[in-house]
């Protein structure tokens, strides 16, 4: 069997970084902070093999990201809004959303604005219900062992970052109709 050789990293130039950034954005939605991290990892990998001036490479990265933002291909506000909406619908708590967006390099004020904008349609209770439905917790349990699993179900929701009060409302609801009534109560 032939041994696989490791690929040598490409030579880092401003043109290479721009092509790499555009290729990344074709495949993934990103924030400017996340794109900088992706490009910095490319520089670090190349720096292990060749001698690279890190300061110069960081300047190139900043220029490339600024150029892409000016071209309108990268918008942190739009990224934050779409990620908040997506994460809420999949059952993520506000706390988890903040952490995930911070890890992607989105500024705190943009996260706040996106959360406030989304709060009208999707709140913590809606997200907790979506997560409980997905994991079959509380009223979404199929078997009759719901009472025995109540503490575990509460803990599962709490680990996702939901408040105790929200967890309790979802898990202690008698059925799906009771949860729908609870949601309607808010408005």
* Higher per-residue confidence, 66 vs 185: 66
Cα–Cα distance measured from residue 45 to residue 104, given in angstroms and rounded to the nearest whole number: 20
- Could you count the other beta carbons within 10 Å of the beta carbon of residue 168? 16
What is the CA angle 108-23-63, rounded to 5? 55
**CA 28 – CA 144 distance, rounded (Å):** 43
Q: Tokens 């996702």 — which residue?
A: 160
Give 184's contacts (C-beta < 8 A, 6+ positions apart).
none
pLDDT per residue over 128-150, tens digit each? Answer: 888 888 888 888 887 777 778 88
- Sign for the pseudo-dihedral over CA of 26, 27, 30, 36: negative
| Confidence at 36, pLDDT banded by 50, 70, 90 | very high
Domains annotated for the chain, with CATH where assigned, are: 14-70 (no CATH), 76-119 (1.10.10), 124-185 (no CATH)
pTM score of the predicted model: 0.74
pLDDT tens string 79-127? 999 999 898 888 888 899 999 999 999 999 999 998 888 665 567 888 8
> Residue with structure tokens 């954005």?
25
């Amino acid at each position: 069997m032939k041994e696989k050789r490791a690929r040598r990293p490409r030579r880092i130039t401003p043109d290479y970084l721009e092509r790499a950034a555009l290729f990344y954005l074709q495949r993934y939605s990103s924030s400017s902070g996340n794109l900088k991290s992706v490009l910095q990892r490319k520089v670090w990998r190349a720096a292990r093999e060749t001698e690279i001036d890190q300061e110069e490479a960081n300047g190139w990265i900043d220029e490339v990201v600024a150029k892409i933002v000016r071209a309108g291909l990268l918008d942190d506000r739009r990224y934050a809004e779409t990620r908040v909406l997506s994460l809420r619908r999949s059952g993520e708590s506000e706390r988890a959303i903040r952490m995930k967006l911070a890890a992607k390099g989105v500024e705190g004020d943009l996260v706040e604005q996106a959360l406030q904008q989304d709060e009208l349609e999707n709140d913590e209770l809606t997200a907790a219900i979506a997560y409980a439905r997905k994991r079959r917790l509380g009223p979404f349990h199929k078997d009759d062992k719901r009472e025995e699993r109540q503490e575990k179900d509460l803990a599962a929701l709490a680990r996702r970052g939901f408040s105790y009060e929200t967890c309790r409302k979802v898990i202690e609801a008698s059925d799906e109709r009771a949860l729908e009534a609870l949601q309607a109560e808010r408005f």
